[in-house]
Amino acid sequence: MNLQETLENIQPLDAKMIEIAKKRWSSIAHPLHSLGLFEDVLVEIAGMTGRQEMDFQKKALVAMCADNGVVEEGVTQTGQEVTALVAENFLKTEAAASILCRECGADIYPVDIGMVVDTPVPRYKTSYGTKNIAKEPAMTREEAIHALEVGILMAEKLSKKGYRMLATGEMGIGNTTTSSAVASVLLEKSVELMTGRGAGLSGEGLQKKITVIEKAIALHQPDKNDAIDVLAKVGGFDIAGMAGVCLGAAALHTPVVIDGVISGVAALVAARICPTCADYMIASHVSSEPASQLILDALGKKAFLHAEMHWGEGTGAVTLFPLLDMAATLYNTMSTFQEIDLEAYQQYT
């Protein structure tokens, strides 16, 4: 599907199936709503998939890998060579996200959507890195749409392979700079409020990063009402690719677990392109990056994990997978009040 076809296929959640799932939880022999958000999310997943049975044993993390020209401005501790190194480690199960995927029985699909070098990582390049946003727009509008459609394509490919739940992750040195820029524009918040230290900048480094972002926004004047314009002018290919996964997953009635602040910015871009697609997103955790909670609030999402994580790669999203699996097992297999001849709890408000 291209972008327009994808948007046309995104539908509201199945209200009838939501009611069926709510009744299933109410019938299970347990204190009502005692699993809290886990009960809520399974009800939402029933609405996403149109199925009462919880079947997402086959799960995958899509890790979008891309480089960002703004690294030229000295806004990071490391160089772009680290992007390729970690991306290759996804394939060798030596990166954090791939190790976590192995441990919880999920698969990982790294995607070269815009690294400056070629590696064994499957190539779906939009270009060899973005431009330096301090000097020129990150990409053209056509490139932004292409990167979105790479994400849509990945969602389609994995759906055809039988994956029932996806997660978004990334690797790209400099992407806390681009994500802060996009978030600042879309949420109409100050750059200083939306920008954190990323992978450990000093106080001086943080101030330089803020100044670079402010300069880029002032130079390019991205239109806050046009998420693709914002993406093209101050974003990154990895953000665009993850946004495409969110859109593609929604069109295919597939839940997508969003990771931390960079993945959250991608989710925000997707939601600004098509608000309904936010209904298909699950927030894994609140990153310790400053913008994280503000992004989740804008998406109307409650995170499950509050552990001050900010590793990236998709690590937070994958960490949620086993908890969702356990909740699904209870939903699918526990006896009802009627089956064990126990008087049901009454719901009081």
> What whole-number distance in Å separates Cα of residue 8 and Cα of residue 273?
12
Active-site residue, 81 included: no
Task: Please name which of 70, 219, 226 lies closest in space to residue 145, comparing C-alpha atoms.
Answer: 226
Amino acid at 3: L
Bridge-based pairing of strands 165-171 and 107-114 is unpaired
Write phi, then psi, for 295 (nearest 5 degrees): -65, -45
145 burial (CB, 10 Å; 0-12 / 13-18 / 19+) is buried
> What whole-number distance in Å separates Cα of residue 169 and Cα of residue 258?
8
Catalytic residue among 44, 73, 170, 313: 313
Give me Rg for the CA atoms of the chain. Answer: 20
5 burial (CB, 10 Å; 0-12 / 13-18 / 19+) is exposed
Query: Are the C-beta atoms of 45 and 255 separated by less than 8 Å?
Result: yes
Give the contacts of 110 (CB within 8 A, at least 6 positions apart).
63, 65, 87, 90, 91, 121, 122, 171
Task: Please name which of 323, 289, 290 lies closest in space to residue 305, comparing C-alpha atoms.
Answer: 323
Amino acid at 211: T
What's 112's DSSP letter? Answer: E
Q: Length of the chain, please?
A: 349
Q: With the C-alpha atoms ordered 241, 101, 86, 193, is the resulting torsion angle positive or negative?
A: positive
Give the contacts of 48 (CB within 8 A, at least 6 positions apart).
13, 14, 253, 254, 255, 279, 280
Active site residues: 313
